[in-house]
């Protein structure tokens, strides 16, 4: 394996990814605790892929404003397009990594494998937390100071040495904000993110898929109100 410096490697990835429309690119060094939650289909291969590149694309505010009481077709197409763009970006980044002589495993932005827990190969939210992008919000999504929860993510696992977090986690959190609690139609969101009721949320997503004739599990209500800095301004229609 070629010798490379972690800090140089992330700069090379960012340079290669500059035309891919990404709003967030960050990296993490993974431990066994992260891996034990991975889907069994990638647990063995991921054991030798010690690093993660987490990429994100911000959702459109005007599209989210169409979500007033239920997910809309406008949001559905946007959600699909953003996932597609993330998958394409992950593919391109994996290509750069392989050209550098390392291995890369691009994971889908949105593919459910565990239907009880609504989980894919891994949790992009957990990878984002490990990469220092933000915190687990009361709505169970990754929240950043700048964009709130209005970003979709995917992850590339790799053996290319990349910077990990050495600092203790920032004292981040939702603080006094409770905007998402009142908009959830099934009261799945609570004061403590650990009390989030996934079963209630999942049941509502299934109801929306049926009532709105969408063939995917989306909602958007708690996302709409979680726009990061100055949410009041952003929510003006």
Shortest separation between residue 125's beta carbon and ligand SF4, angstroms: 11
109 versus 162: smaller Cβ distance to ligand SF4: 109
Strand partners, 29: 51
Rounded least distance, CB 220 to ligand SF4, Å: 7
Query: Nearest approach, Cβ of 30 to ligand SF4 (angstroms)?
Result: 25
Task: Kindly tell me which of 64 and 188 has the beta carbon lying closer to ligand SF4.
Answer: 188
Produce one character per residue of 108-126: b if its CB has 16 or more CB atoms within 10 Å, e if not: bbbeeeeeeebbbbbbbbb
Q: How far is the CB of 195 from ligand SF4 (least distance, A)?
A: 12
Q: Which residues bind ligand SF4 (CB under 6 A)?
A: 137-139, 143, 148-149, 174, 177-180, 183-184, 186, 188-189, 201, 204, 219, 221-222, 225-226
Nearest CA to 78 out of 112, 126, 110, 114 is that of 110
Q: Kindly tell me which of 100 and 186 has the beta carbon lying closer to ligand SF4.
A: 186
Q: Which is nearer to ligand SF4, 51 or 147 (CB)?
A: 147
Q: Give start and end residues of each alpha helix (H) in the chain.
A: 6-16, 32-35, 40-46, 61-65, 73-99, 124-130, 179-183, 198-211, 221-224, 231-234
Q: Which residue is nearest to ligand SF4 (CB)?
A: 137
User: Residue 163: phi, psi to the nearest 5?
Assistant: -65, 140
């Amino acid at each position: 394996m070629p010798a490379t410096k972690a800090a140089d490697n992330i700069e090379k990835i960012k340079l290669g990814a500059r035309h891919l429309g990404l709003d967030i690119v960050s990296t993490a060094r993974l431990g066994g605790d992260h891996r034990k939650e991975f889907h069994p289909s990638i647990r063995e291969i991921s054991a030798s892929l010690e690093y993660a590149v987490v990429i994100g694309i911000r959702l459109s505010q005007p599209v989210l404003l169409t979500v007033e009481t239920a997910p809309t077709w406008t949001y559905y197409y946007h959600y699909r397009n953003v996932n597609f763009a993330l998958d394409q970006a992950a593919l391109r980044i994996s290509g750069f990594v392989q050209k550098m002589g390392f291995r890369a495993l691009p994971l889908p932005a949105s593919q459910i494998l565990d239907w009880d827990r609504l989980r894919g190969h891994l949790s992009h939210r957990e990878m984002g937390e490990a990469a220092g992008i933000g915190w687990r919000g009361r709505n169970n999504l990754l929240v950043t100071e700048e964009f709130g929860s209005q970003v979709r993510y995917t992850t590339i696992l790799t053996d290319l040495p990349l910077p990990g977090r050495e600092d203790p986690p920032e004292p981040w959190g939702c603080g006094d904000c409770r905007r998402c609690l009142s908009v959830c139609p099934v009261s799945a969101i609570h004061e403590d993110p650990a009390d989030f009721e996934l079963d209630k949320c999942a049941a509502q997503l299934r109801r929306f898929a049926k009532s709105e004739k969408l063939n995917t599990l989306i909602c958007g209500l708690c996302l709409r109100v979680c726009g990061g800095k100055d949410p009041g301004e952003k929510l003006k229609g």
